[in-house]
Amino acid sequence: MLASLLDLLTGAACSGCQAPGVILCPACRESLRGQARVTWPTPRPPGLAVPWAAGEYAGLLRALVLGHKERSQFSLSGPLGLLLADAVEGLVTDRRPPLVLVPVPSRRRTTRARGHDPTGAMTREAARVLTTRGYAATAHRLLRVGAVLDQSGLDSRARTANLSGSMNCPSTAVAALARGWVSATVVVCDDVLTTGATAREAQRALAASGLPVAGIAVVAATRKRAP
């Protein structure tokens, strides 16, 4: 309700149909549901865990992701978290084991410039939604990323080289939490899956710390088009 009030006071309009007073109306929100599916990048990084995406990175969904990440439209963490939860639920059907959602980290400089952590916010919201659906879901920021180049404009090979070995898990945090995760299902979460290089590096860092990854869940995936 607070997010909707802020949208109304700031003159927001729906990103889909331009209806006034709300940044995403209920009808446009529902139009994005029900599209979660397995979406492999092309080419597929060797060893990448199965990736589920809530939709294609295009049109309204692309506008929402960019609005949340680059334009400080904080209230979009709710609908985007809901879509991320749909992707996780497509991947994980067993509600019994603990479900640990791990957001892909951003560089500290990038987070400071944006003023928030969009992937972390969406992942926390997804965990909340999944809890209401009967999952024992929690979100934990277990990954840190070192110095890497901006990924925009890099192809799949360059992204892989750029990210190789860049992520790690604080050993003390993992040791403290992993004691209760003997049978946990660990899922890497991100906003967009492009080449899969970022997700694969996150998967590698978690596995190196003793936390095997069951799969990747993202809000949107880019579609590779043949030349």
Gap between the Cα atoms of 160 and 111, Å rounded: 22
Read off the tokens for 117. Answer: 């952590």
Q: Which residues contact 79 (CB under 8 A, 6 or more apart)?
A: 24, 29, 32, 64
Gap between the Cα atoms of 142 and 210, Å rounded: 12
Domain ranges of the chain: 1-31, 34-221
Read off the tokens for 166. Answer: 């860049």
CB 33 within 8 A of CB 219: no
CB 161 within 8 A of CB 198: no
Q: Is 186 helix (H, G, I), strand (E, B) or coil?
A: strand
pLDDT over 60 (residue 206):
yes
Lowest mean pLDDT, pick from 8-12, 37-41, 74-78, 206-210: 8-12
116-129 pLDDT, tens per residue?
Answer: 789 999 999 999 99
40-64 pLDDT, tens per residue?
Answer: 999 999 999 999 999 999 999 999 9
Q: Is 3 left (phi over 0), alpha (psi -120 to 50) or beta?
A: alpha
CB 220 within 8 A of CB 51: no
Read off the tokens for 15. Answer: 């990103």
Q: At 187, give phi and psi (nearest 5°).
A: -125, 130
What integer pLDDT is reported at residue 226 of this predicted model?
Answer: 42
131-172 pLDDT, tens per residue?
Answer: 999 999 999 999 988 645 454 555 556 555 445 566 888 766
Chain CA centroid to CA 197, Å: 14
CB 169 within 8 A of CB 199: no
How many other β-carbons are positioned within 10 Å of the β-carbon of residue 134? Answer: 9
Does the pTM of the predicted model rise above 0.75? yes
What integer pLDDT is reported at residue 227 of this predicted model?
Answer: 38
Task: Please give the DSSP secondary-structure letter assigned to residue 88.
Answer: H
CB 141 within 8 A of CB 188: no
